[in-house]
Amino acid sequence: MKVRPLTIDGAWELTPVQHGDERGLFAEVFKGDLLAEVIGHRLDLAQVNLSVSAAGVLRGVHFADVPPGQAKYVTCPSGAILDVIVDIRVGSPTFGTYDTVLLDDVDRRAVYLSEGLGHAFCSLADGSTVTYLCSTGYNPTAEHGINPLDEELGIDWPTSARDGSPLKYELSTKDTAAPGLSEARDSGLLPTYDDVTRYLRTLAT
């Protein structure tokens, strides 16, 4: 498996080696020992989520209070998405920036984002299936969002689906009503870089 750090500290792209023949293919899409070596501790898997999205669906930008936050290992076994990781840690050198990775059923990449980062994606094909290995379970009182179309974030969302057809964005009511980055920061909703750093140190001990 090839590992590439993203431009945001605490996020990585992981590309598996695929072994194929006339019967199909096989790939190791998650390796706990390798991930632990990369992030400095083992992923304590608490919950596995799955979503299926039509082309044009935007989900996110989602994040959780730290501690404990919610680290995610994200793959797209079927279809294609543009996965987006956003640095929402107040005080981070890269606060307010984002990085993207194409996750699809061709290269079968994954992304890992650590606690304190925001996550979003745009589905590029009908039926795009996304799996999330999560370090904590669902906690509605500790989970929040930023509007993925916030102009300050300025995410360059794709305008064409995988088949070349134009995309029409669809958001949930909750994501549409989510605050922008500055509003979330000013209201104290966002984690701080120092708090996240301190918490991650406890996981490495």
- Which residue out of 41, 132, 169, 199 is catalytically annotated? 132
Is residue 62 among the annotated active site residues? yes
Q: Is 112 a catalytic residue?
A: no
Q: Which helix (H) or strand (E) holds 111?
A: strand 110-113
Going 72 to 73 to 77 to 83, the CA torsion angle's sign is positive
Output b/e per residue, 158-196; b: 16+ Cβ within 10 A: beebbeeeebeebbeeebeebbebeebbeeebbbbbebb
d(CA 159, CA 27) in angstroms, rounded, equals 31
The residue annotated as part of the active site, out of 19, 41, 62, 119, is 62
Known catalytic residues are 62, 132
